[in-house]
Amino acid sequence: MNKITLVSNFSEPGIGHSTSKRLASMGIATIQDLLDASQTVLESEFGKQQACTMQQLAQGIDNSVVTATGAPQVLLHYHRGVCAVCLYI
């Protein structure tokens, strides 16, 4: 597990610049720190909903609805001079 990922590098909703500064003041500087943090302590500082969201994001859980934006795109991959369609978004 990568313990050097800094919380301040988050771009997810709920863990922005201000929140990461508050976490740092609590001694939480890495994703692992956030995973190890007491839910009760996080709830007292941020409230139940935000504490739950932050810990879920740290675990890779994001229940946000995914919506398509823009026109669909076809991504191409070239291997040894041959073009293959890899992904249709």
User: Do 31 and 58 touch, CB atoms closer than 8 A?
Assistant: yes
pLDDT for 63 equals 82
**CATH 1.10.150.20 for the 7-58 domain, yes or no:** yes
Max avg pLDDT among 45-49, 70-74, 81-85: 45-49
The stretch 47-73 carries a mean pLDDT of 85
pLDDT for 30 equals 84
The stretch 6-19 carries a mean pLDDT of 63
The stretch 11-38 carries a mean pLDDT of 82
Flag whether pLDDT at 1 surpasses 50: no
Q: Which of 64, 57, 89 lies closest to 76 in space, CA to CA? A: 89
- Spans of all domains in the chain: 7-58
**Selected residue with higher pLDDT from 76 and 61:** 61
Rounded CA-CA distance 71/62 in Å is 24
Size (the chain), residues = 89
Q: Using the structure block, give the residue that is written with the tokens 């997810």.
A: 12
The stretch 72-82 carries a mean pLDDT of 66
Residue 27 amino acid letter: G
